[in-house]
Structure 1
Amino acid sequence: MPHGTQHSKSFKRGFAALLAALATLGPFSVDTYLPAFAGIQQSLDTTPLGVQQTLSVYLFAFGVMFLFHGAISDSFGRRPVILVSLVVFTIASAFATFASTLHELLVCRVFQGLSVGAGIVVGRAMIRDLFDSADAQRLMSLVTLFFGLAPAIAPIVGGVLYAWLGWRSIFGFLTVVGVLLVALSFRALPETLPKEGRQAFHPAALFAGYREVAINARFLLLSLAAGFNFNGFFVYIVSAPVYLGEHLKLGPQEYAWLFIPGIVGIMMGSQLSGRAAGRLTPYETVKRGYAFMAVGATVNLAYALSTDPSLPWAVLQMFVYGIGFAMVMPSITLLTLELFPTRRGMAASLQGFVSGMVNVLTAGVIAPAIYHHPRWLALGMLALGATGLLFWLSYLRIARRIVEDPPTILPEPRETNPD
């Protein structure tokens, strides 16, 4: 199934739906169990910090393994990496369901983190293996839609499961999802990287590839921009137990108040990004997305400074910011992968690693430091989004100075001035 092959609409829809399902597994593994933190703490006789560690070790393992999923898929193919990772995730989820101590749960969370990132990393590379230009952006927008929806839907699902069946049912649910994805991927997931396009799996070759990607300034700036953009949204997700439970006095089954505005915003942003494909350059789409993010974060801070939080006004920032994030993410991802057309898997891995480390920073340091007051949370959203914008603007400055032929797939920024 070579790059550039004409694919039917039904194939595109099915392929995108499967990759989207694989991409949502990571966010679901983080956010489904957030409403159950108090129950886990009581059941395993631990502290709030102990439960928080189950999130931190997962995110750390998730981020570290991002370094390898794509590189391994560049050598052995996309399909085997996804299938093996899904099997490991399913087994780890099953063991987590029956964990009797915090230590056992931590070990299970590490294995979940090590395995769950393959879907989003390798999936991005698969899209660029098969599709050019506008089609790639449309499919990436759809995957971004579901990737962004997962953190919003997962806590709602988790809250219902926790209230009805207890915290162990959440990991049972993840086990069932893993089994279904193994079956679907084994049956329907194609191999998109032909053998002649694969890289040698050798330490020296891998090191050379990592070095080539990691020292590229444009790559690092794009990856950091994507990571900080998402974390302006993510900081409210990981702060949900405090923001909703303490500041808004809501129960675990009422998490929809925070997440439904995010769902709707991400849906709208993804639709706008998909429609912009072929009509606007990626740079113009990103510019418009940042405008939405800036409005959402700024108005949110003004509201938090002026009054105590109350529904529905305290959650509308998720809607507006979500539109902007979902518009920006597909274009930045495609621009990143296009920097290394022969190492897309490795580029996707390193981009995910950089973004994952920003997630770890937010979940482990930033959110616990600011979620005790709504004003600090609002300032955190604005600061994280502004940091992402600064990295994007820095990328544009470098891209305009570099002397090279314009890329064949995605155009250079306007007003280039090669020296």
Structure 2
Amino acid sequence: MGLLFTIVLAGLAMIGPFTIDTVFPAFEQMGRQFTSDTAAMQQVTSLYLLSFAVMSIFHGPISDAVGRKPVMIAGLLGFTVASIACALAPGLPVLLAGRLLQGAFAGAATIVSRVVIRDMFSGSAAQRLMSNVMMIFSIAPAIAPVVGGWLLSIGPWQSIFWSIAGYGVVMAVLVGVVLPETLPTAERRPLNAPSVVRAVLRVGSRGSVIRLTLVTACTFGAQFTYIAAAPIIVVDLLGLGERDFWVLFVPLIGGIMVGAWISGRTADRVPRRRLIDVAMTCALVAIAVNVLIVAWQPALPWVMLAPPLAATAVGTIFPVLNLEILDQAPDDRGAAASLGAFGTLFANAALAGLLIPLVSDSLLHLALTSLAYAVVAMALWLWHRSRPVVMEAATT
């Protein structure tokens, strides 16, 4: 497929990072306007992730019934309306309601776009395209807080949400013009509540899907610990300003981009499971080393030496794990994508809303939290590795 096709898919994947990270620099300004403390402002992120997670269960099965494009376009239009509601919010309760709606609609395009890749490609071709999409998508978390800081320099915090709304409109047009419908009418399932529920239960009853979902959630949780705590790390723990988020995000996202490149380059050379073995081990070692460094010297530049290495490993793993999940349910790919996304997003929402406020008092506690996620991810992967292979096409 052409470059424009890849860019559109990456643009859909960028919705999440732009919606989360662009707002980070505005937390202080919004907190002052709404007289809200750090814990209350953290809910701006966690509620978005929670609604994203809950609604992600339904986007995939619905796309299995009505097709991929209608779900993506409808989701983008709803996301745009929710972003406008956030921009017009007179207080924190209305803003939080808008964030709930943003999360509810954002997943439609983000999740279903992954299914489009697997609809059209298989094997190493799917892995290469998924990796290329992730390489482009990885730019978003690095530039999003920078864009947010720039927008704050020329306007109030509302300008961020107006910009996000404009992004939703542009992506809806591009989906309509560039992307093909990849689910033939003959392969669609009935659209009714019982059918959707049955699809979710059918996929959710597969042990391989549940195991891989948990592995993905914990692997990404090790990385997301730093993303969710970014406003606290940059401003409170490192003593930097609202335009200095690049100090954290550029190294992390650079690592993820390198990892995605490695994943794509090894698609024809290294079996998927072997690649995950190696990358998972590298992530665990890098995160353990990070704990030692932070305990020794919790200051720049030392605290940013190991996290990019861990990010590289996570970036290598993530595209492959997503394909592994989709291949467990070839007749219900939408439902499989939804359950995979639900697990990661629900875990991220809990991490951002419940765990981060408890462990963000020091860089060491955050590093230990990341290590705990990495250890659990490795244990779960070894458990899954010991089970029989159940896939659409053998890749081990």
Report TM bin, short chain.
over 0.9
Who is 2:280 aligned against?
Answer: 290
Distance apart, 1:209 and its partner CA = 1.6
Which amino acid in the other structure matches residue 326 of structure 1? G
> SS at 1:30's partner residue?
helix
The alignment partner of 1:252 has SS state of: coil
SS of residue paired to 1:166? coil
Residue 101 of structure 2 corresponds to residue 111 of structure 1: yes
Q: Which residue in 2 is equivalent to 1:97?
A: 87
Q: 2:329 aligns with which of 313, 326, 340?
A: 340
Q: Distance in 1 between matches of 2:392 and 2:365?
A: 44
AA paired with 2:225?
A: V
Q: Which amino acid aligns with 1:362?
A: L
1:14 is aligned, of 4, 25, 50, to 4
The amino acid across from 2:367 in the alignment is A
My pick for the range that moved more, 331-340 or 156-165, is 156-165
Which string of whole-angstrom CA distances, capped at 9 and with x for unpartnered residues, describes residues 317-357 of structure 1?
33101110111111111111111101000100011011111
Residue number in structure 1 paired with 2:208? 218
> Could you tell me which of 11, 35, 46 is aligned with 1:45?
35
Aligned twin of 1:156 = 146
For structure 1, list consecutive stretches of 5 or more residues without a partner in the other structure: 1-8, 414-419
Q: Give the equivalent residue in structure 2 for 1:4.
A: none
Aligned to 1:121: 111
State the match for 1:409 in structure 2.
Answer: 393
Q: CA deviation at 1:243?
A: 1.2
Distance 2:5 2:393 in 1: 21
| Residue number in structure 1 paired with 2:179 | 189
Say whether the 8 Å CA contact 2:21–2:141 is kept in structure 1. Answer: yes
Match of 2:318 in 1: 329
- 8 Å CA contact 1:125–1:345 kept in 2: the answer is yes
Contact 2:290 2:307 in 1 (8 A): no
> Given residue 27 of structure 1, which amino acid in structure 2 is its aligned partner?
P
Given residue 307 of structure 2, which amino acid in structure 1 is its aligned partner? Answer: M
Q: Distance in 1 between matches of 2:342 and 2:288?
A: 29
CA deviations 1:252-274 (Å, max 9, x no partner) are 11111111111211111111100
Count of equivalent residues: 396
Q: 1:231 aligns with which of 206, 221, 229?
A: 221
Counterpart in 1 of 2:126? 136
Whether contact under 8 Å (1:159, 1:252) holds in the other structure is yes
By how many angstroms is 1:310 displaced?
2.1
2:70 aligned partner = 80
- Counterpart among 294, 310, 329 of residue 299 in structure 2: 310
| Cα offsets for 1:174-232 (capped at 9, x unmatched) | 01111211221121121000001111123333222211111211111101111111111
Q: Which amino acid aligns with 1:123?
A: S
C-alpha displacement of 1:408: 5.2
Do the aligned partners of residues 305 and 286 (structure 1) sit closer, same or farther apart at CA in structure 2, a change above 3 Å counting? Answer: same
Counterpart for residue 265 of structure 2: 275
Q: Is the 8 A contact 2:79 2:102 kept in 1?
A: yes
- Residue 339 of structure 1 aligns with an amino acid whose one-letter code is Q
Task: Indicate whether 1:398 and 2:387 are aligned.
Answer: yes
Q: Partner of 2:85: helix, strand, or coil?
A: helix
Query: TM (normalized to structure 1)?
Result: 0.91
- What CA deviation, in whole Å up to 9, does each residue of 1:126-154 have, x standing for no partner? 11111121110011112223444433322
Change (3 A) 1:65 1:408: closer
Cα distance between partner residues in 1 of 2:47 and 2:236: 25
Q: For structure 2, list consecutive stretches of 5 or more residues without a partner in the other structure.
A: none
Task: Return the alpha-carbon distance in structure 1 between the equivalents of residues 110 and 278 of structure 2.
Answer: 25
Cα separation, 2, equivalents of 1:352 and 1:149: 20
| Aligned residue number for residue 255 of structure 1 | 245
The answer to whether residue 358 in structure 2 is matched with residue 369 in structure 1 is yes
